[in-house]
Amino acid sequence: MADTESKALQVKEKAEVTTPAEQTRPGVAFTPAVDIFETDKEITLLADMPGVKAGDLNIDLHENVLTLDGDVKAPEGATEMDVIREYRTGKYYRQFTLSQVIDQTKINAELKDGVLRLNLPKVEQAMPRKITVKSA
């Protein structure tokens, strides 16, 4: 990780969603960039969703399919006119299939500065357990 800290950030255009799921609302949907990592106890997901407010974010876990759906309201005021437009705004949408069994009651989501942090704890039985062999 240390070497990435001094690296200069490169421009990455937002990737538009190419999902087979049909849109019911007009407007573009983008794929948020995510980090997903797993420890013995839980799976953590970090997603960049700038412009999404906590109230406009829907997280749904249904039959091992995790859906992130964040709505973005255009930040521009009604009287503003475009000078230059380099990025587009729109909702964020992404689905994941989780292989592990998740304890739904302990899911914890936090949205701070446009980054979602989702903790998905594994159910007890899915955790690897060390079995000590007793000598008889």
Stretch that binds another protein, among 4-12, 17-25, 101-109, 120-128 (CB under 8 A): 4-12
With b meaning 16 or more CB within 10 Å and e meaning fewer, what string describes 80-95?
A: eeeeeeeeebbbbbbe
Stretch that binds another protein, among 17-25, 60-68, 83-91, 101-109 (CB under 8 A): 83-91
Question: Is 82 an interacting residue with respect to another protein (CB under 8 A)?
Answer: yes
In this chain, which of 18, 25, 62, 85 binds another protein, going by CB under 8 A?
85
* Nearest approach, Cβ of residue 16 and another protein (Å): 11
Please state, in angstroms and rounded to a whole number, the distance separating the CA atoms of residues 91 and 125: 36
Gyration radius (Cα) of the chain, Å: 19
3-state secondary structure labels for all residues of 32-56:
CCEEEEECCCEEEEEEECCCEEEEE
Residues 34-53 interacting with another protein (rule: CB under 8 A) = 34-40, 44, 46, 48-53
Interacting residue ranges for another protein, rule: CB under 8 A:
1, 4-13, 33-40, 44, 46, 48-53, 75-77, 79-88, 111, 113-115
